[in-house]
Amino acid sequence: MARRGAREPLTIYANGELVGTWELGVRGEHVLRYARSWTESARGRPLSLSLPFLPGNRFHRGEAVQAYFENLLPDSVEILRRVQARFGAPSIGAFDLLREIGRDCVGAVQVLPTDEPVPDVRSIAGSALAESDVAALLRRTASSPGLVLPDRDDFRISIAGAQEKTALLYHNEQWMLPRGTTPSTHIFKPALGRVSDFNADLSSSPENEWLCNRILDAFGLPVPESVVAQYEDRRALVVTRFDRLLSTDGTWIVRLPVEDFCQATSTPPSRKYESDGGPGILTVMGILGASRVPSDRATFLTAQILMWMLGAPDAHAKNFSIFLEPGGSFRLAPVYDVLSAWPVLGHGPDRIPIQRLRMAMAVTGKNRHYRWDAIAARHWIETARRHGVSTPTTVGIMERLIERTESAIDRAITELPTDFPEPTASAIFQGLRSSAERLRKSQI
């Protein structure tokens, strides 16, 4: 069978409705054209804050289009090459890969070749999986770091991020491989194992991330549902996708439009960290100033302070997202992908010195600070002040976090399963306490 032409446009859909087309120009530039039916629809909305509807329905061309679609793919070049080899794609470029795996992306977007029919999304179709099938899939995930795609031609997903993971459908109390245009509903994240130059042991990463989720919830932040599950000899964190919603009549799964802050700012995934040129706290706070929910800026600032308290260094622009709503409005999505470094910090073999812990987004004072041990209360106050958040407001946020630390820990303890790894819990709880005390002392 002849391969489709590399320059053939791709069609973009959202919940079965035509959004527009994406193509490569003669010089390789990325072009997005919104369908007039979409821009005039009551359900219509731009794919991204960086790709608004334009007067006269003019098209978008260039880096903003490219960055938006690149951010729908996994971050790792190794993963992209595996996907390329799996499907025989001409390159690891977003256009070539999403032609193959764009049926189930983050958010509402589906990317399809122009010769494929309009997706019928108003049904749920999947192939039932036994526990042994899920276990086998997780074994493949662990042995092949990155995005794992089951051996089914009609199950083609794209999950952004750098960690190995896969996704499945949960329907009628049964795990399934989605078929056709049915989306996945849950993301499976196996243990990370040993990472970094320090050979740090993150084999308890599913429990670590689950506990961080419960702590954030105890502090009042919105988080997705998650559970640590065992399938034969394999363990994984199973996260409910917040960009999926069962329809009111229960007959189909609605895809909710979402984008991360790299997409919202036309930032390629290779620059997701602020130190590499990506968005920082001030940029995100500036965007959230236009959120439909006035409290979103305070929520984001609270989340950043808690990332520091949890020693969670990966809170970059791809790990914060917004829901896109009709008419161009938006609001902050739940906080996700939070993993504490406290269980692997310290001195000695296989430990990471705390002096090496750097946050993904800097706080500001006279200088910009990424190092965990260089950050104090005054830096949060100054960072917030630079975007119009008053000192009393920021101090109030910090004081509430300090005051609620013990009750948040107590609540998390009541939720711990009996087989939860004690060293992981103890390290995270102690790190949280010491951070709260450090924050309290630096306010004096």
SS3 of residue 167 by DSSP? strand
Residue 369, strand partner residues: 363
94-101 vs 63-70: helix crossing angle, rounded to 10: 40
Tokens 């320090």 — which residue? Answer: 198
Give one DSSP letter per residue of 347-362, joined into a string: SSTT-B-GGG-EEEEE
Q: 345 φ, ψ to 5°?
A: -85, 150
- The answer to whether 350 is a known catalytic residue is no
- Which two tokens mark 121? 């999304």
SS3 of residue 318 by DSSP? helix
Compute the distance between CA of residue 379 and CA of residue 34 in angstroms, rounded to an integer.
43
* CA R_g for the chain: 22
Find the farthest-apart pair of alpha carbons in the chain and give their distance in angstroms, rounded: 72
Decide if 254 contacts 244 (C-beta within 8 A). Answer: yes
**Other CB atoms closer than 10 Å to residue 376's CB: what's the count?**
16
Compute the distance between CA of residue 361 and CA of residue 369 in angstroms, rounded to an integer.
9
Report how far apart the first and last C-alpha atoms of the chain are (Å, whole number). Answer: 72
CA 118, 258, 217, 164 torsion-angle sign: positive
**Which H/E stretch holds residue 87?**
helix 77-87
Considering only CA atoms, which of 122, 129, 137, 133 is closest in space to residue 180? 122
Decide if 264 contacts 49 (C-beta within 8 A). Answer: yes
Point out the catalytic residue in the list 197, 314, 337, 419: 314
Residues annotated catalytic, as ranges = 314
